[in-house]
Amino acid sequence: MMTTEHEDHAISSGDRQPQSDSPVRTGRCRLNDHPARASGCTRRRRTRSILFVFALTSPLWASGIPVEVATDKTAYYPGEELKILITVPIPMTLQFLTALQTLYTIDSVYTPIVYVSDRPTQATTPKTWTRNHRWADYRLPLGNHTIVGIVVDHGESVPVSFGVVQPPKPEGAFVLDFDTIPGTTARVAHLMAYESIGVRFHTAEGQPCTLRNLDGDSWIQGFDPYPSGFNVAASFDVPVFGVSAQVAGALGVQITMVGKDAAGETLASTTSPAIAQPVKFGQTLNLTTTRPIVEVEWRPSAPKSVCAVDNVAVVTFPPPSVNCIVIQKKLMITWTTVAGFNYQLWSSPDLRVWSPCGVLQTGTGAVLTHSGMDAGSDRLFFRVTVGKRNDTFSGPSADGNARAAAAADRKGRRCDSL
């Protein structure tokens, strides 16, 4: 019977990309390439245990037990969760000098630097170990790559190929939920997953944001040295006209969202009510502009309060301009469109309960019209929701696309008579 084990030791941060023809330095230790073995060195810290630091450059192991390597997929998007499966398929008992049992090398140039304790361990095979690639340490470019699985001090696999491909480009309105890449089911392991679609998350001072996860739900937060403190920012490489996001912070704190243009001028801003449930995403902020938003910032009213952001909805087309007139006691509603996107008109007597008016219509780039409704004497409000070509709507905020589009809606307005 084959056993499996997930091995995910602490790995050093930073963009380390050791080359096969260069020694790797770690503290006072120098690790040189060796034709017959991988070198390791011992580094003593001011702690109770001794940590072994492993860095490999083009490893060739002395013994030759069978080792197999595979990735959980054949192709990945940048920043997607990437799992490496290292297997010894035959029965045996393996002895290890430390807690580190497996490693991997990508493209013959990158092997993670791993810190482990000095306690000896053993493994009974057949067995499969699972390791997660850290995109922050080695950003895989688009194209084909090779990976070699290593069972430390025992053997290595033959190279296996996998690819990194461009993610689909979202259209119109899309949601960044920090769980999956838009338009796919691919799990997000690093925020570079969104850079490929034109969105980069950082702090106001340019530091990377942190991807956090609790019970399978992910969000982001960021921090700059005081007095700036906690904050999150997003920069857009595509024209953006509407943004909404769920925010969280400390008790009593307010979160402000500000949209800016390319010159840094504020286009629009909005502030949440005082947070009543700490670190709960109970507040949603919305911004809509007629000029492109280049950057959005989220800041708490107290810089020492955490500022967490989730479910960022983005609209990449101008909001529809909705007009309502009365001609001979009949209503006529018109609104501007973008070719290829679906538009649904809604009406409400109180801005709370909305009902669809007419059928879903596809934009042509020209003005769409809905007419024939009796004007009556009651006050009515109208709004238009926008979605991608194949979307349908069950309400102005029924799903992710509708919620994103609602941020771009022209609020329902009272009809004027002619």
Which CATH number does the domain housing residue 359 bear?
A: 2.60.40
Mean pLDDT of 311-335: 85
Convert the pLDDT of each residue in 220-263 to its tens digit: 999 999 999 999 999 999 889 999 999 999 999 999 999 999 99
Do residues 10 and 112 both lie within one domain?
yes
Tell me what pLDDT residue 298 has. 98
Tell me what pLDDT residue 172 has. 75
> Higher-confidence residue: 216 or 105?
105
Is the pLDDT at 151 greater than 50? The verdict is: yes
E-state strands within 263-414: 266-271, 283-300, 308-315, 322-327, 330-335, 342-348, 355-362, 368-374, 381-387
Convert the pLDDT of each residue in 120-143 to its tens digit: 999 999 999 999 999 999 999 999
Query: For the stretch 209-242, what's the b/e string if a residue is b when 16 or more beta carbons lie within 10 angstroms of its beta carbon?
Result: bebeeeeeebbbbbbbeeeebbbbbbbbeeebbb
**CA neighbours within 13 Å on the CB side: how many for 378?**
8
Do residues 116 and 227 both lie within one domain?
no
Is the pLDDT at 412 greater than 70? The verdict is: no
Are 63 and 96 spatial neighbours (Cβ–Cβ below 8 Å)? no
Do residues 91 and 215 both lie within one domain?
no
How many other C-beta atoms lie within 10 A of the C-beta of residue 387?
21
Do residues 65 and 155 both lie within one domain?
yes
Convert the pLDDT of each residue in 338-372 to its tens digit: 887 888 999 888 888 998 988 898 888 899 988 87
CA-to-CA dists, residue 44 to 29, 98, 277, angstroms: 11, 14, 45
- Looking at residue 154, its amino acid is H
Tell me what pLDDT residue 397 has. 40
Among 280, 315, 350, the domain boundary falls at 315
The parent domain of residue 227 ranges over 173-315
Do residues 210 and 267 both lie within one domain?
yes
Among 164, 196, 230, the domain boundary falls at 164
The number of domains in the chain is: 3
Contacts of 36 (CB under 8 A, 6+ apart): 60, 62
Confidence of residue 91 (pLDDT cuts 50, 70, 90): very high
Chain-centre distance of CA 132, in angstroms?
17
Quote the DSSP letter at residue 107: T
Do residues 307 and 327 both lie within one domain?
no
Is the pLDDT at 169 greater than 50? The verdict is: yes
> What is the rounded CA–CA span in Å between residue 297 and residue 358?
38
Convert the pLDDT of each residue in 212-224 to its tens digit: 998 889 999 999 9
Do residues 125 and 37 both lie within one domain?
yes
Is the pLDDT at 193 greater than 90? The verdict is: yes
Do residues 302 and 178 both lie within one domain?
yes
The domain that contains 246 carries what CATH number?
2.60.120
172-186, 276-290, 390-404: which range is least confident on average?
Answer: 390-404
Do residues 14 and 159 both lie within one domain?
yes
> What is the rounded CA–CA span in Å between residue 418 and residue 395?
30
Tell me what pLDDT residue 7 has. 53
If you compute the radius of gyration of the chain from its CA atoms, what whole number of angstroms results?
Answer: 27
Is the pLDDT at 35 greater than 70? The verdict is: no
Do residues 328 and 395 both lie within one domain?
yes
Mean pLDDT of 299-305: 95
Do residues 90 and 203 both lie within one domain?
no
Among 255, 282, 315, the domain boundary falls at 315
Is the pLDDT at 294 greater than 70? The verdict is: yes
Do residues 65 and 188 both lie within one domain?
no
Instruction: Check whether the bond before 227 is cis (ω within 30° of 0).
Output: yes
